[in-house]
A and B are shown apart, each in its own frame.
Chain A
C-alpha cells in the first residue's frame, strides 16, 4: 500500500553545515509530496511541496526535488541555523479524499 519512509533521527549538526533528510515513498501514480516542520511547542507548518515529477519545492532556504525515478523527495539545506532545530515530516496524500500519510518525523538539532 501507499507509504512514506523517512530517515530516523535525531540528526545533530553544527551551524552552517549541509543538511539532507531522506524521504522515499510508495504510491500508485504520482501524488503531490510535502515537507512539514514542527517547531517546539507548536503544530505542523507546511514547509514546501511539489506537485509533479521533477518539480522543486523551496522555502526558507530548504529545497526538495520530486524524483520519480528514485521515488524520493529528500529535503536539503545548504547552511543550517540553530533556528532550524525542529521535527521534519515528509508527507503525501493517500488518495483524492485529502487523507495525508506522514512519515515518522526526523528530529533535527543544530548546535551553535
Chain B
C-alpha cells in the first residue's frame, strides 16, 4: 500500500498570504489528523477529520482551517500568514488508533 503523501513538500510564502496544504491518506483510512511541528513548541495537534467531519480540534486560531473530501483526502488552509506559522506541517492517517505519518510540508513564511 502506498503511504501517506503530502504536497507540496516545501513552500515559501510571505506574511499576509494564505496557503493550502494537501494530504492523501493510506487507502482505506478514514481519519486524517494534522500537526504543526516547530523547534520551540514541538508537535502540536491542529485538528482531525473523520468521514468529512471535524472530530477534534486543537488550540489554534481560526486562521487555521481544514476539510476532508469524500475520498478521505484532506486539505488544511492557513490564512493571513504570520512569521510564526513557519513550521513543518505533518499529516497522519489512521484506521484505528495507530497513526501513519506523511513526510510533511515545510512552510517558510518571510
A residues sitting closer than 8 Å to B (CB atoms) are 32, 34, 36, 42-46, 49, 89, 93, 97-100, 102, 104-105
B102 engages A43 (CB within 8 Å): yes
A43 engages B90 (CB within 8 Å): yes
- B99's nearest neighbour on chain A, judged by CB, is A100
How many CB-defined contacts (below 8 Å) exist between A and B? 54
Compute how far the CA of A49 lies from the CA of B31 in the bound complex, rounded to whole angstroms: 19
Q: Which residues of chain B (65-110) have a CB below 8 Å from chain A?
A: 90, 92, 94, 96-104
B residues sitting closer than 8 Å to A (CB atoms) are 4, 31, 33, 42-43, 45, 48, 50, 55-56, 90, 92, 94, 96-104
Assess A43 versus B101: contact at CB under 8 Å? Given A89-B43, A97-B56, A98-B50: yes
Compute how far the CA of A102 lies from the CA of B33 in the bound complex, rounded to whole angstroms: 13
B45 engages A99 (CB within 8 Å): yes
Main secondary structure of the interface of A (DSSP, over half): strand
A46 engages B98 (CB within 8 Å): yes
Assess A34 versus B98: contact at CB under 8 Å? Given A97-B56, A98-B50, A99-B33: yes
- B94's nearest neighbour on chain A, judged by CB, is A98
Q: Which residues of A are found within 8 Å of B97, using beta-carbon distances? A: 32, 93, 98, 100
Question: Could you jot down 20 A-B contacts, CB within 8 Å?
Answer: A36-B101, A42-B103, A42-B104, A43-B101, A43-B104, A44-B92, A44-B99, A44-B101, A45-B101, A46-B100, A89-B43, A98-B48, A98-B94, A98-B99, A99-B33, A100-B97, A100-B99, A102-B43, A102-B45, A104-B43
